[in-house]
Structure 1
């Protein structure tokens, strides 16, 4: 149990958003881990809109623990209606999609 952040990276140089989470990680006897968590702080309206947008666009985040080198582990995030987050590791960094959209 502890704290971490979920970071949504647009590319290797641009992190669009970071969300603090309280996280619980468990591992089985072969080293497969599972993680659940919740946002450390209640998201305000603007933060919630940003979170929902990123989750809809691509629910893959880097989970970074304090003291780590910011490389993080790529995870797919699932959120239940009660706000519980489930983090599933993405093998070999696969799973993100490439999306292009016009901001003009």
Structure 2
């Protein structure tokens, strides 16, 4: 199994040209023998009250983000994010068309 421990940021895009928010995360990505991609992470810095409200709002609207790694201008991997009560983030790769299927176009 291949494994990468890195930092990155989650980007929440309203449409192809409008990124509403970015959140820095510490992430561990692993790929198993059949190519299945899995990732867990945490916010790199504790969210203040305003950031937490924004995060919770976006997660309620649609928990699909793009993830960008250092050196990338824009996130290239669409992921669905689930946050556990302890703050652990589980990221699951999704197809780009599935990511936008639940959003109303702006």
1:53 counterpart = 2:57 = yes
Residues 76, 90 of structure 1: 8 Å contact kept? yes
Residues 10, 75 of structure 2: 8 Å contact kept? no
Selected match of 2:103 from 73, 98, 102: 98
Residues 74, 93 of structure 1: 8 Å contact kept? no
CA distance in 2, matches of 1:16, 1:92: 18
Gaps of 5+ in 2: none
Q: For residue 78 of structure 1, report the CA deviation from its aligned partner.
A: 0.2
TM-score (norm 1): 0.90
Deviates more, 1:60-69 or 1:88-97: 88-97
Flag as ranges the 4+ runs of structure 1 deviating above 3 A. none
Q: In the alignment, what sits opposite 1:3?
A: 7
Equivalenced residues, count: 101
CA distance in 2, matches of 1:82, 1:74: 23
Per-residue CA deviation, residues 16-36 of structure 1 (Å, 9 max, x unaligned), is: 000000000011011111000
CA distance in 1, matches of 2:59, 2:25: 15
TM-score (norm 2): 0.89
Per-residue CA deviation, residues 12-57 of structure 1 (Å, 9 max, x unaligned), is: 0000000000000011011111000000000000000000000000
